Structure 1
Amino acid sequence: MSSSSQGEVVYTPQREARSAFPMAAILLVLGVGVLLPMALARGLTTNSELKVVALELCLLGTLAVLLQPFWGLVLVVGLLYVRPEESIAALAGMRFTLLVSLVALASVLAHLFLSREKLVRTPFNVMLLGFAATAILSTVPNWNMAEAVLEISKLVILVLLVLNLVRTPQRYRAFVTTLLVFTAYLALYSIYLYFTGGAMQQGELARSQATGIFSDPNDLAATVAAGLALALVRARNARGLMRLVYLLLAGSQVWAVVLTYSRSGLLSLLLVICGFLICSMRRKAISTVLAVGLGILLFVVAPSRMTDFDRSEASANQRFWLWSDGLQQLYGRPLTGIGYGQFPEINGGWTAHNSFVLCFTELGLPGYFFWMGCLYYCFKRRVPKATPEEESEEEKRDLVGARLALSGFLFSGFWLSRTYVPVLYLLMCLPVAAQIAARGRPGPQQVKGAEWLRDCGRIGLISLGSILLIQLMTDFLK
């Protein structure tokens, strides 16, 4: 096997110790025999049958996670996409996602300890921990550290779960399948709501929505467009009937995005489809022409609201003024920022409408550096002089799909404030996990010495360059 390049951490899992299963089995027996009856008895005193059922299912899920941590990750993704606590009033405040995440993390650590394996370590992890520390410390002057610790720790746990559970090609495919299933749910459910009177009414315009954070059509469009990239790559890799299934799924996702009437969603849709055409075809000139032609066609047939990018329009003009205010706050507090969650406090309840602006305004240059570092390691891939034979074409396309999905979400995120949204961090994990799964080797490898300094220099330049670009856009468009 060819030697790994610097900056790329890959891992080959060992066999689990045999003692892990008996312990998990004992926990399962104790749970079913003791904890379930106790939970049932407690639940019957709450006068809410739905809560009783939810508690029982949560406990059963917890026990299953102890047996197989990967199912914990699947359950966490499902909870993030379905949002039962936000869509069912009786379940509000039950924090299922946090509970399952903590149990899954504990199960992962226990399984790794019993099998004598180590946590996956990558430069991405370093940047994420730096981002988390900066976000939490930024709250010290504003006395809202508890909220920051809770929300940021969810993101860190989510990343740790993905990178330590998705270590093999089989696990990576299962993880992508999980994302596809729940993205399909969002797309189909939003279409169903649209045609059954559950759409969001904005004046005379009806816009499709789902539940929870996905009741915002822009969030829905960004997430579904990211899922489209994964569906297109699956269709490219599949054969026969399964290819048709994935193409039908892709079609439903395009339809769902169009029904949101989201302009940022349309831009993400164009990026994903055109990027897929260019990356998947060998003749780049032909693929580029097709991509441009398809982009023009989508603009022609899309609803008029989605193609109206008039900068004098009220919402667009206000967005640029918010960007300008964020830049002024950055220039006033470049090292500390104004603090996590404080942008709406100084802008009359309005957020930045730009994930990048929100990050550097609230966390300052250090926090923005670490956040951009996470993105840098999602797209950086040190390719050896000779491409390893063991890396198949399918695995290469999987990596392209992962990066396209993240790019599509980020493209929407440039017009929305989604710096701390869990879906973004799920998508950030995809390219890193794809490389770990496709090119697994024993033992971690870190970026060291001069290479680390070069990476930090590049991240710094990219960070400053993006701020300059936003400044130029703001000056021209507001």
Structure 2
Amino acid sequence: MAYLLFLLANAALFIRPAELFPSLGDVQLYLYLIAAAILCGMSGIHNQLRMSTLIQQPINLCMVGLTLSVATSHISTGGLGAAAAGLNQMIKVLLYYLLLVSVVNSVQRLRQFLLVTAVCSSVMILIAVVDFHGFVAEWSNRADLFDVREQEKDLPDRAPKQLRHVVDLHGHDIDGSPQWVFRLCGLGMFHDPNDLSSMAVVTAVMALYFLFDRSLSLARYLWAGPVVLMFWAILMTHSRGGILAFGAGAMAWLAVRFGGKVAIALGVLGALAVPVALGRQGNMEISGGTGQQRIQLWADGLAQLKSLKLPFGIGEGKYVEVAGLVAHNSYIHAFVELGFLGGMMFFGCFLFAAWAFLRIKRDRIPIRDAELLRMMPYLAGILGGWCCGMATLSRCYVPNTYMIVGVLAAYINLVGYYRVRPQPVIALDGLVVQRWMLSSAALLAVSFAFVRLFTRWS
């Protein structure tokens, strides 16, 4: 029952009935479903928190540590009320993750979860794309577009707006007319072009997994539709981060499927073709424009760590107060808000997943399940695409990030079970902890060096 309720709750993350049918009002279907799933799956959640499990699956430990870091980031600055509020929100995300890894405990369930997620995401993006093309047709020649855009840009996120998608102004033509760029947005938590593009990359990889599944016979070719839809959605978001995420996901898939040399060769060719083929979306300039603006945001945040705030950070949700905007980089955002300890926990969620995939590939760990073995390149592609996408987004505390983390952790758990002799792929010990700390310190040091080299203050 917990598994079925969790599938329904996860579907509600993508397709919210209240958005499709406004007459339902503020009914939070997801909250009811996830609460019921948690109650039914409490024993499995408890098992994920056992000390032995935390050692055998370091990602679980990172999630618990990350949740506690949200509270300590506020306590260290005297914000007890903010600590309680932040901890309350993050515990909900932690329970979502723990429930996922506890109920997705077989190859069949993991496959079903990928199927439901791919279908729900495809439906959500299809609805968004259809609405987007109608929106563009409606607003392309509207004389009042600029005025409406100015009126709505400071409205709260949940406030009703006429502009359902992002409209950016990119200069004027020779006649002085504004040049508008319409950017596709999704529903709910994906109502941001960059969020939607990252999810489209993940969905494309999932769709490819089913497209190349010969056990589905001719029915597998139906998945060509979602694959094409995802590519179109990525282009319509005009998200440079989405293009980078797509490239990273493709290279990760190629590296695991065909080897690193093939991935590098095709990656170089793709990098050369992108600026020509995609125009503005393929322009990755960092010396000016939005690229330079984001580097300056990173510099403003990292400057806060040159103090006693390094261990515990400035406080969850406080980045906007020091930089004016969020970091648009989840790794830097986590280190600045949660300090080195919290940033290490956030980074560890993805470091241990990548480390496990590397160990499986490098050590040629035999997996006694053909379907689990076939999944590996696709989940590596999801990992690569999402990790790259987070370098252009601040998404440290939202469920969709930990849906990806949970899927990867569930896969790694299953690989450990289906080894010739069941044992964890990676278990915590002194050497692993040392490498984890050094990798986190290296990431932070590289971030400092990068902003020092490339920040151009006018």
Question: Which band: TM-score by shorter chain?
Answer: 0.7 to 0.9
Aligned equivalents of 2:236, 2:27: Cα separation in 1: 32
Query: Which secondary structure does the structure 1 equivalent of 2:41 belong to?
Result: helix
Describe the shift of the 1:118–1:316 C-alpha distance in structure 2 as closer, same or farther (beyond 3 A). Answer: closer
Correspondent of 2:343 among 363, 368, 379: 368
Q: How many residues align?
A: 402
**Superposition deviation, residue 123 in structure 1:** 2.1
Describe the shift of the 1:476–1:88 C-alpha distance in structure 2 as closer, same or farther (beyond 3 A). Answer: farther
Determine if contact 1:127/1:371 at 8 Å carries over to the other structure. Answer: yes
Deviation digits for residues 401-455 of structure 1 (CA, Å, limit 9, x no counterpart) = 223212212211111111112111110112221132345379986977xx51111
Partner of 1:202: 168
Query: Which secondary structure does the structure 1 equivalent of 2:318 belong to?
Result: coil
Partner of 2:397: 420
Counterpart amino acid of residue 8 in structure 2 = L
Determine if contact 1:277/1:291 at 8 Å carries over to the other structure. Answer: no
Describe the shift of the 1:237–1:278 C-alpha distance in structure 2 as closer, same or farther (beyond 3 A). Answer: farther
Correspondent of 1:234 among 210, 213, 229: 210
Correspondent of 2:220 among 239, 243, 253: 243
TM alignment of 1:31-430, pairs within 5 A: 68-85=1-18, 93-109=26-42, 122-140=57-75, 141-142=78-79, 143-197=81-135, 199-203=165-169, 204-238=180-214, 240-281=217-258, 285-286=261-262, 288-302=264-278, 304-332=279-307, 333-348=309-324, 350-381=325-356, 382-383=359-360, 387-388=365-366, 390-392=368-370, 394-430=371-407
Deviation digits for residues 167-206 of structure 1 (CA, Å, limit 9, x no counterpart) = 1111010011111112212331222122111543222111
Long gaps (5+) in structure 2: 136-163, 170-179
**Superposition deviation, residue 75 in structure 1:** 1.6
The TM-score normalised by the length of structure 2 is 0.80
**Superposition deviation, residue 337 in structure 1:** 0.7
Determine if contact 1:208/1:256 at 8 Å carries over to the other structure. Answer: yes
**Superposition deviation, residue 351 in structure 1:** 0.9
**Structure 1 vs Structure 2 CA RMSD:** 2.9
Describe the shift of the 1:128–1:118 C-alpha distance in structure 2 as closer, same or farther (beyond 3 A). Answer: closer
Counterpart amino acid of residue 98 in structure 1 = L
Query: Which secondary structure does the structure 1 equivalent of 2:396 belong to?
Result: coil
The TM-score normalised by the length of structure 1 is 0.77
Aligned equivalents of 2:41, 2:134: Cα separation in 1: 42
Query: Which secondary structure does the structure 2 equivalent of 1:105 belong to?
Result: helix
Determine if contact 2:319/2:327 at 8 Å carries over to the other structure. Answer: yes
Aligned equivalents of 1:290, 1:324: Cα separation in 2: 33
Identity %: 23
Query: Which secondary structure does the structure 2 equivalent of 1:380 belong to?
Result: helix
Determine if contact 1:120/1:163 at 8 Å carries over to the other structure. Answer: no
Deviation digits for residues 143-177 of structure 1 (CA, Å, limit 9, x no counterpart) = 31243123201211111111110111110100111
Aligned equivalents of 1:87, 1:148: Cα separation in 2: 30
**Superposition deviation, residue 96 in structure 1:** 3.0
Long gaps (5+) in structure 1: 1-67
